[in-house]
Structure 1
Amino acid sequence: MSDNKNSISRSGGQSIAAKFAQKDWVKKLEAASGKPIVPAKPFFGGIVYLVIDCSGSMDGDKLHQAKRGASGFAVESQRKGYSLGLIQFSSYAEHISEPQKEIARINAALEKMQTDGSTNMAVALSLATDKFADRSGEKIICLVTDGMPDDRNAALAAANRAKQAGIDIMTIGTDDADREFLEQLATRKELAAKVVRERLEQGIVSMARLLP
């Protein structure tokens, strides 16, 4: 049975490659470059964690926008081959969804988020980093916040620990956040963004388009 499956798989792969090689534009490019052109392999190995600020200052419209934006982020990240996990944080951090591509389950987890407490960003980043342990492929944290953390130095230390573990960090904040601090948290300045609070939903969705 195993041999049959392997035979089918090899046959199917050869058929796809053969069809690709017969395309006129492929033949022309190969003739011009003198090198064979191999079709790109699909990307299926990425994991991204949305780490969402649910402190008391996010109450009301900001939380609603964060939920809608996270739902849109899930759709966009799925299109790019990523599984999405969710972590919410206030005075403490809570892991609310394992990485997955089931949009309905992600939305159900998002609906349970409520605001309360302070902004313990360091513990949230540490939790996300720990959740990536023993996972392969692209590993990305996208942090959503509306302000400064309880402990700036602890948050920066947690972000550096994540980066040293091979995890990229993207950040987005509302107009209450400190852009310079968001850039320090992010892997690169261009992976940090700041938007007016009324456009938080659109901003979060746009961050998914920066996924590699």
Structure 2
Amino acid sequence: MTDASRADTALLLMDLQPGILANYADADYLPRIRRALAAARHAGLPVIWVRVAFRDGYPEVSADNAIFAGIRGSGRRLESTEAAGIHPDLAVQPQDVIVTKRRIGAFAGSDLDVVLRGGNIRHLVLAGVSTSGVVLSTVRLAADLDYRLTVLADGCMDGDAEVHRVLTEKVFPRQATVRTIDDWIGHVAA
């Protein structure tokens, strides 16, 4: 990756929160994310964290929202809780940006587009949980907004391995470059 192509690239890490990651059993996942994070930092790429969280009382959650209506009143995913923060093993740095979203996709109910435009970011390198949730929603909208996209296949995780495979091997390649973290690290270090 040349310096010119690095200037408009950011690593976007999505929904890597303790309350979400607790639902997945892949002991190698966080170490892989830490490798991608270290490579991005070494290359001088901005790191943007996206988390899903809600205000006390869940004013953003409609009773008609099939995915989030069930958490109303549960205390889960409240922005004031530790479970809604970024996983502590990932060591957010002061220069990183944390974006809070109120829906599945990284752009929905957040100021992500403003942050990206403010930083002249046009290329997003995506990783997150889940592949069929935040990653899929973000790929679709980001492609429609004309962002260049790279999806780190092993930087994404889903509760359904077959859905993950179909998305990373058949769906995402239509709108994004799909790489493994190690392949991307070799590319960004070049």
More RCO (CA 8 Å, sep 6+): 2
Normalised to the residue count of structure 1, the TM-score between the two structures is: 0.46
Normalised to the residue count of structure 2, the TM-score between the two structures is: 0.49
Higher gyration radius (CA): 1
Kindly indicate which of the two structures has a greater share of residues assigned to helix: 1
